[in-house]
Amino acid sequence: MKLESLKHRASKKALIAVSIVGMFAGICAIPAGAAAPKTIASKGLVYIIPKDTTNPYEVIADNGVKAALKTEGWRGVVDSGTTDTAAAQEPAIQAAIAAKANAIVIAANDPKALCPELEKARRDKITIIGFDSDNYCAGNLFINQANTQQIGASEVDLLAGEIHDTGQIAILSAAATATNQNAWIGYMKQELTKYPNMSLVATVYGNDDPTVSLTVLQGLLTQYPNLAGIISPTTVGISTAAQYLSTHESQYSNLILTGLGLPSQMGTYTGDDNVKAFELWNPFDLGSLAGWAAMEINSGVIQNKVGVTFTIPAKGTKLVEAKSWTITKAIAGSGDPSNFVTLGAPFVFTAANVKDFNF
Ligand code: RAM
């Protein structure tokens, strides 16, 4: 991927800029008036627990975590199930505890179901970092890909622009318990109140499994033959739908699909009758930031406290768009006890730029 060109396009076209963590040599804390900060320990072990081990998006994010760890001589172990359930993730948390890991970086399939196991890990002084999909468990720092409300609202706005604010729409989601999906969908519903002529007729769940996603998509299309738009806020759902619609283009030429997609999976379809624009951020960077936060917190370089800012030193920063991240509270009213760090903002991909990205 051409990071510089991404940055350039983002500002030039007044698109919402994407935040690139890229490669950098280390993060240092800047507590006011403090003595020289501690440094990251010379080695450590991090369990990376994605929603599942097969989703290409999760694989890229995991690779981002591993790349950050490698820079400092730390080791990352990816461990999870193959279906997007909390139960499939529990053995990985237990394995992290047994291995005396320094940290767990986890994309939760359920906001609360993992808390008993994560609490055991936390009691064993394992640093808990959520990424991609948050856990509502004590002591957690969630690395959010972008502002949750902005993600949900902007997807509705994108679709509204394409269907002239009118018609039946549906959502093709991932697992019904996924924290990130449900948070985004909540904000989509809020944004939809601005569009009285658009009606959300159904939300279906493909579990981030291409086969299930296709089945629920076909059910949706049969039940609602007049659908004007589908929002799929999952890379698995949107790529499955894009592929299906492209092979049935004459039947569905008036149906617009948008959501969150990997440019590498969506390039072929973007610009056809169904797909005009979709959004995402760089999942590799999301993983990198989570990896750095895990090492910094576990080593005592920074604390997981609201107001703490961490920055990236000059060395290796030339690809970095955001220069510092400040830990905030979770979104007010969300019931999430985690602290948050937000990577950047969603980026809009269209036929004009989608081929420029390799993730
Ligand atoms: C899917 C997963 C993931 C989400 C992306 C956009 O791969 O559901 O959690 O963040 O899509």
* Predicted pLDDT of residue 37: 61
Q: Count of CB atoms within 10 A of residue 135's CB?
A: 28
Question: Residue 208 Cα, ligand 1 centroid: separation in angstroms?
Answer: 8
> What percent of the chain has a predicted confidence (pLDDT) above 90?
82
Residue 91: which of 77, 81, 78 has the closest Cα? 81
Q: Which residues contact 61 (CB under 8 A, 6 or more apart)?
A: 50, 107, 131, 132, 283, 284, 286, 287, 290
The residue length of the chain stands at 359
The structural domains of the chain, ordered by start, are: 45-145+283-343 (3.40.50.2300), 148-280 (3.40.50.2300)
* Element at 342 (helix H, strand E): strand 339-344
DSSP assignment of 27-79 equals: -EE--TT--SPP---S--EEEEE-S-SS-HHHHHHHHHHHHHHHHTT-EEEE-
* Predicted pLDDT of residue 91: 98
* Predicted pLDDT of residue 144: 96
- CA–CA dist 142, 196 (Å, integer): 34
* Predicted pLDDT of residue 15: 32
* Predicted pLDDT of residue 36: 58
Residue of 51, 235, 264 with the most ligand 1 atoms within 8 Å of its CB, for mutation = 235
Across all residues in the chain, what is the average pLDDT? 89
Question: Residue 235 Cα, ligand 1 centroid: separation in angstroms?
Answer: 6
Which of the residues in the chain have pLDDT under 50? 1-29, 313-321
- CA–CA dist 18, 322 (Å, integer): 9
pLDDT tens digit sequence for 152-210: 999 999 999 999 999 999 999 999 999 999 999 999 999 999 999 999 999 999 999 99
- CA–CA dist 336, 139 (Å, integer): 11
- Amino acid code (one letter) for 10: A
Contact criterion met (CB below 8 Å) for 117 and 92 = no
* Predicted pLDDT of residue 23: 35
- CA–CA dist 84, 88 (Å, integer): 7
Question: Residue 57 Cα, ligand 1 centroid: separation in angstroms?
Answer: 6
Residue nearest to atom 8 of ligand 1 (CA): 234
* Predicted pLDDT of residue 296: 92
pLDDT tens digit sequence for 269-302: 999 999 999 999 999 999 999 999 999 999 999 9
- CA–CA dist 323, 264 (Å, integer): 27
Instruction: Output the ligand 1 site: residues, CB below 6 A.
Output: 51, 55, 57, 107, 132-133, 174, 180, 208, 234-236, 260
Residue of 59, 60, 236 with the most ligand 1 atoms within 8 Å of its CB, for mutation = 236
Closest ligand 1 atom to residue 133 Cα is 9
Residue 15: which of 252, 294, 356, 359 has the closest Cα? 356
Question: Residue 56 Cα, ligand 1 centroid: separation in angstroms?
Answer: 9
Helix 235-246 vs helix 210-223: crossing angle, to nearest 10: 60
**What are the residues facing 329 on neighbouring strands?**
339
Residue nearest to atom 4 of ligand 1 (CA): 234
